[in-house]
Amino acid sequence: MSKPLLRIPYTDLPLPSVIAPASASTLPGAIAALHRFFVAPSPGDLPASAVVLTGAGLSVASGLADYRGVKGTYKVNKTYRPIYYPEFLKKLHGYLRAVVCTSCKNEFSRNEFQEKLATLNPKWAELLERALKSGALDTEDPVERRFKGLKVNPDGDVDLPDAPYTTFRYPSCPKCLSSPPKNADGHQHVVQVDTDGAWKLPSTAGILKPAVVMFGESIDNHIKHAAEEAIDNAGKLLVVGTSLATYSAWRLAKRAQDRGMPIAIISMGGIRGEDKFFAGMDPNQEGEQGVRVALSTDDLLPALLSALRNDVAPSEAPTQASLQASFGNRGVFKDMLS
């Protein structure tokens, strides 16, 4: 097997987590600790607001496998590698609000992009309309969806039968089409479309992709600065569903720590350098200085949301009835992930 082009950090299991406070090992205890974390005043002159840093583990609740857990992809499949940037460009995974041009870097509405996709691919539009009319998208039950003619893969992609995959057409970046940019050599790119407006060869620019940072892609400076400003303008940091294995994520948590911000981490399995994030913390604190929880977000976050909405006092352990009632928030949580 050839050596990967990019190094994948921390593919082995991280060290076990040390739960803090110790009572946070149970669901009621974790809710109480996180409630105290949020309602306690920020230390010093730090703002009262909190900033949230999330990772791919947040999507496990929607059916995706994790990467670095006991049953994670890197653990189960030693030869696995992520989808690299050139492969991502062939697909339209991710971010549903905007697309960005890989050449000129301008962003455009995903809704307008989808309308153009429907115009360029009428067969696909017809299949989607049929699925909508059947009510297949009105249920979360995969069995019922399949019965109504719609199969959804764990990553959220819809598998439409008889769909013409080999002739799928994409619109071009409108800015590059009207004014082709120059390449690194100073020569002008070629951007052409067919009579329907679909990008075609020999075009060398004007390709649109979801406006997210993909594996192997550098983070733009304005995104880095925006993330740093979010940390600098908050008084607490909540980390959810990430091992902080990538430096871009770890440095933000380290920045928060250097500012003296209390940090709460919700993630299954160990965290990169987590012993340092909680070093020097009072062993008798109850969540106001920091929290480390290793419970499923699918159970914890909806229950925490209910506790915060109902303003359950940190000293009060939520009753079984209140925990069951909180599960009604799961739908909201999963909608947030989609």
d(CA 149, CA 159): 10
**Same domain (yes/no): 181, 108:** yes
- Residue 132, in any domain of the structure: yes
- Residue 9, in any domain of the structure: no
CA angle 27/33/35 to nearest 5° reads 100
Query: According to the model, what pLDDT value does residue 253 have?
Result: 96
**Same domain (yes/no): 139, 93:** yes
d(CA 126, CA 284): 61
CA dihedral 328, 330, 335, 338 (to 10 degrees): -170
> Is 173 annotated among the ligand-binding residues?
yes
User: How many domains is the chain partitioned into structurally?
Assistant: 2
**Same domain (yes/no): 106, 161:** yes
**Same domain (yes/no): 200, 94:** yes
**263-266 sheet: strands from edge to edge:** 50-54, 236-240, 263-266, 290-293
pLDDT tens for the chain, 338 residues long, are: 445 445 555 555 556 678 999 999 999 999 999 999 999 999 999 999 999 999 877 877 766 666 655 666 556 566 666 677 777 777 666 667 899 999 999 999 999 998 999 999 998 888 778 877 877 767 767 677 676 766 766 656 667 666 777 788 999 999 999 999 999 899 999 999 999 999 999 999 999 998 888 766 788 888 899 999 999 999 999 999 888 988 899 999 999 999 999 999 998 878 888 888 988 899 999 999 999 999 988 889 999 999 898 875 544 455 555 445 444 444 433 343 33
**Same domain (yes/no): 185, 264:** no
- Residue 190, in any domain of the structure: yes
- Which of 210, 230, 258 corresponds to the end of one domain? 210
Query: According to the model, what pLDDT value does residue 320 have?
Result: 53
Query: According to the model, what pLDDT value does residue 143 have?
Result: 73
- Residue 15, in any domain of the structure: no
Looking at this protein, which amino acid is placed at residue 220?
A: D
Query: Which residue of the set 93, 187, 189, 222 is catalytic?
Result: 93
Q: What 3-state DSSP class applies to 198?
A: strand
Identify the CATH number of the domain in which residue 277 sits.
3.40.50.1220
> Is 104 annotated among the ligand-binding residues?
yes
**Same domain (yes/no): 278, 179:** no
Residues spanned by the domain of 204: 85-210
> Is 129 annotated among the ligand-binding residues?
no
Is 93 a residue of the active site?
yes
- Residue 7, in any domain of the structure: no
Total-model pTM: 0.70
**Same domain (yes/no): 276, 332:** yes
d(CA 317, CA 23): 11
- Which of 178, 210, 242 corresponds to the end of one domain? 210
Q: Which helix (H) or strand (E) holds 291?
A: strand 290-293
Query: According to the model, what pLDDT value does residue 219 have?
Result: 85
Query: According to the model, what pLDDT value does residue 37 have?
Result: 97
